[in-house]
Amino acid sequence: MIVVNCEEIPGKKIIEVKGLVQGNTVRTKHAGRDFMAVLKNLVGGELTGYTELLVEARRQATERMMAQANELKANAIINVRFATSSVMSGAAELYVYGTAVTVEDI
């Protein structure tokens, strides 16, 4: 599955548009991560616990989007975008979407 955030794939021709595909996950903060974040806030630096949480959330949402594209028999997803939103205090949704297409070599 080719996944890109542009409208075209170099060397490929879009032969069929399958439609919008999407994936999402909702994650909450972890008490241990929050405690470490408070400590890190005092000295500065990367909040690695939250970085790992977001990396995992992006991976899971992308896998869900790709599964939806596979169901449509697509072999690529173009115009991929990520968005986040707050669901409730301490919980956020990571949402990814794009256009499922079938491509072939030029």
What's the number of domains the chain is made of?
1
| Residue 85 dihedral angles phi and psi, to the nearest 5° | -150, 150
Quote the CA–CA distance of 56 and 60 in Å, as a whole number: 6
Q: Is the pLDDT of residue 73 over 80?
A: yes
Residue 71: predicted pLDDT = 98
Per the structure, the complete domain to which residue 60 belongs is given by: 2-105
The whole-number average pLDDT for the span 12-22 is: 98
Residue 27: predicted pLDDT = 85
Q: What is the CATH number of the domain that holds 48?
A: 3.30.110.70
pLDDT band at 48 (very low <50, low <70, confident <90, very high): confident
Contact 21, 71 (CB under 8 A): no
Q: Tokens 């991560």, residue?
A: 33
pTM: 0.83
